[in-house]
């Protein structure tokens, strides 16, 4: 039994949710999101909350039950509060700058890396060594952060590169004589 799936997703004030068949639409002050629930799962509105239940006790239905509930919860949280990821840049000469909808990254290559910011995502650079990615879709925010981090991930010897804020980099010892 899914412990996550058992809890109904409470819809807070200022947010409206509607269920139409397998489609869940959530509208709030930050925008509108929708999610199509898999066919193995039933979804319904009950007492101002969205409840998710498996159609049967098959392995596929139970696997998608908790995931569907988590997706609906992410929709509600996204349109009410939004999501944010912070990236830190470590290294001599490594920096970021924002030029319109293009993030310019200097990461030790012979050229600057230009990253086109996707629609629905806002990127801010409070300091040249810090990038803040925000948006209402949790998947898009995480994917954008992962793509930026992938240009120069942190290396284990000096810790240079782009890393998530608070991420622990396992350090290795260098060569010995």
Residue with tokens 């700058």: 97
Provide the residue ranges of all domains of the chain, joining segments of one domain with +.
3-80, 83-164
* Total length of the chain: 177
Report pLDDT digits (tens) over 77-101: 999 999 999 999 998 999 999 998 9
DSSP reduced 3-state for 102: strand
Report pLDDT digits (tens) over 157-174: 998 999 999 989 999 998
* Residues of the chain predicted below pLDDT 70: 1-2
Rounded distance, CA 98 to CA 90, Å? 18
Q: What is the pLDDT of residue 127?
A: 93
Is the distance from CB of 145 to CB of 132 less than 8 angstroms? Answer: no
Tokens standing for residue 103: 């993030």
Q: What is the pLDDT of residue 2?
A: 58
Fold equal for 3-80 and 83-164: yes
Q: Which CATH architecture has domain 83-164?
A: Alpha-Beta Complex (3.90)
Q: What is the pLDDT of residue 1?
A: 56
**Does pTM surpass 0.75?**
yes
Q: Looking at the domain covering 3-80, what would its CATH class be?
A: alpha beta
């Amino acid at each position: 039994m899914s412990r996550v799936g058992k809890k109904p997703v409470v819809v807070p004030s200022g947010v409206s949710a509607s269920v139409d068949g397998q489609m869940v639409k959530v509208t709030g002050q930050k925008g509108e999101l929708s999610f199509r629930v898999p066919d193995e799962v039933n979804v319904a509105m009950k007492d101002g909350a969205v409840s998710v239940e498996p159609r049967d006790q098959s392995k596929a239905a139970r696997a998608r039950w908790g995931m569907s509930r988590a997706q609906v919860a992410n929709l509600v949280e996204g349109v009410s509060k939004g999501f944010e990821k912070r990236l830190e840049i470590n290294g001599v000469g490594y920096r970021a700058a924002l030029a319109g909808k293009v993030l310019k990254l200097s990461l030790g290559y012979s050229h600057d890396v230009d990253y086109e910011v996707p629609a629905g995502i806002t990127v801010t650079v409070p300091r040249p060594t810090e990038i803040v990615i925000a948006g209402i879709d949790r998947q898009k925010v995480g994917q954008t952060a992962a793509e930026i981090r992938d240009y120069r991930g942190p290396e284990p010897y000096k810790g240079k590169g782009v890393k998530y804020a608070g991420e622990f980099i396992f350090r290795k010892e260098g060569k010995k004589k």
